[in-house]
Amino acid sequence: MPYHRMAPDEIDRFLKGPPARPAVLATVRADGRPHLAPVWFGVDDDGSIVWNTGESTVKGHNLRRAGRAAICVDDDRPPYAFVTVEGPVTIDDNLDEVRAWAARLGGRYMGADRAEEYGARNGVPGELVVRLHPEKVISAVDLAE
């Protein structure tokens, strides 16, 4: 088997970037069907994976109901790599937190010069800050080697 698992510091570097890769968020609908959606995310100092979403979205409803999620972040360039993270989520609608994370994520993905723009655009009532608390992490690097 040519690929190997990443060490914890490799996982941290992979998730934090650069580059800032989007994650694919997996949640479960009320009827048991999976729901996948790309999200911008960041890693907080406590190791939680953080993103914003609207409370009235499919993601928002699923997260509130189930209280759990998974993300997958991949490098789609050879030799390929990925990290998946599963665990419980906490949800915060505090507008100061929502704006702060919206700005932080906007800066991460669109450049520091646009952080405040994204904070103002996405840091509004009806938006949430979601934290995924890692329980299980799976990784692989050099998949094509």
Q: Could you state, in chain order, the average pLDDT of each consecutive group of 10 residues for the chain (145 residues)?
A: 87 97 98 98 98 98 98 96 98 97 98 97 97 98 88
Report pLDDT for 3: 76
Compute CA distances 73 → 14, 47, 49, 78, 86, whole Å. 9, 15, 11, 15, 12
Q: What is the pLDDT of residue 106?
A: 98
Place of tokens 């609207």: 54
Element (H, E) at 21: none
Q: Which pLDDT value is given to residue 1? A: 60
pLDDT for res 87:
98
Are 63 and 69 in contact by the 8 Å Cβ rule? The answer is: yes
The three-state secondary structure class of 61 is helix
What pLDDT is attached to residue 125? 97
Whole-structure pTM value: 0.94
